Chain A
Amino acid sequence: MNSDEDVRKRPRHPASPAAADDDALIRCIAAGDASAWPQLARRHLGPLVALAWRILGDRAEAEDVAQEVFVRLLVKVPAWEPGGATLRTWLSRVAINLCIDRRRAKRTTPLDDLPEPRDPTADEAVVARRFDMARKVRAALHKLPERQSIALALVYYQGFSNREAANILKVSVDALESLLSRGRRAMKEDLSNVAADLLEDW
């Protein structure tokens, strides 16, 4: 948990790629410089897969969505207008729409396995406990209503500001805060039933 004194620290999420850089790369690609594309792709692919995975709960589907978003970007490149929506916002919005379509078409989305714990030196029992708790948290996230879960994904995991997230969801900042509050409340209730120890002070 963060101490009370560190509240002015830099954001925990790496700073989002500057929109100006993205615009410059897109201009290069539109002018025929294919070497700018991998740079753009590497910058945004990870966050897009993560966002789609958090909404869909399935890695293969999340990768399909991410790939489709990049295809759409490629089609969009010649008509891209700098100074409009930032690329990151545009990509996220397209990904969310694709995820929503897939989620509604499937009705139920089984959760695939979580990624394996990354720290091989950690104590096995601790790793197993964290893994189990992570599964419970993820299941609780997945049970949230669609828009609450997307709002949490954007603000908590993708590092979007409140205005950016509200813009992506096409709601006011007040409405976004309401979605986030309701999502957190529901998570807390759900987790207090299945994993009360999670919500105790660590």
Chain B
Amino acid sequence: MTGRTDMPLDRFRALLDAYGAVPERWPEDERAAAADLLADSDDARTLRREAAPLDDALDLVEAPAPSPELARRVEELVYERPATAARRFVAKPSLTRRLRAWRMAWRPAFLAASGALGLAVGIAAAQPPQTTSTAFDTVELSALAGGLADLRAAELFEDQ
């Protein structure tokens, strides 16, 4: 080494680890110092040779070109009003967002319906009872309540 470079070998190694062996990918402000080191140091040249095959492997993967249909669609976008284009192509809002919007839109209707239902129940409750409950009704309702309780208990065990 002649000592004209100010890049330590460790930094050169880090450069190769991150950016690979192709100098054009190295940070522009370090490229000259790395080139000096490469010219002067056998170790640096060895490190670069070892890093190169992975770059060659990465170069094998070529991305597809845009289809002519896409190019045409994109070029024609400008002839639509931006809002129209956005409505046509921008992804729909998520399901959660759409449900929230739907709920907000129908909220006044739900409130009105709840109020009407409450009023109807209130009027009905104010009327004198038409029938009286029998012993049979009471037994049947108790049995039903017990059955539901058993069912809930069984579900709880299944959960554990």
Contacts and interface: CB of A to CB of B under 8 A. Distances in A.
B54 interface: yes
Interface of A: 1-2, 4, 6-13, 29, 34, 37-38, 41-42, 45-46, 49-50, 53-54, 59, 62-63, 66-68, 70-72, 74-75, 77, 114-115, 118, 130, 133-134, 137-138, 141, 152, 155-157, 161-163, 173, 176-178, 180-181, 184-185, 187-188, 191, 195, 198-202
Interface string B8-33: 00000010011111111101100110
B54 A134 contact: no
A124 to B, nearest CB: 17
Given A34-B78, A155-B19, A49 B66 contact: yes
Contacts of A75: 82-83, 85-86
B58 A137 contact: yes
A185 B54 CA distance: 10
A137 B77 contact: no
Contacts of A181: 14, 17-18
B70 to A, nearest CB: 5
Please classify the interface of chain A as helix (H, G, I), strand (E, B), loop, or mixed, using the class held by over half of its residues.
Answer: helix
Contact of A46 (B49, B60, B65): B65
B160 interface: no
A128 to B, nearest CB: 13
Contacts of A67: 70, 73-74, 89
Contacts of A38: 75, 78
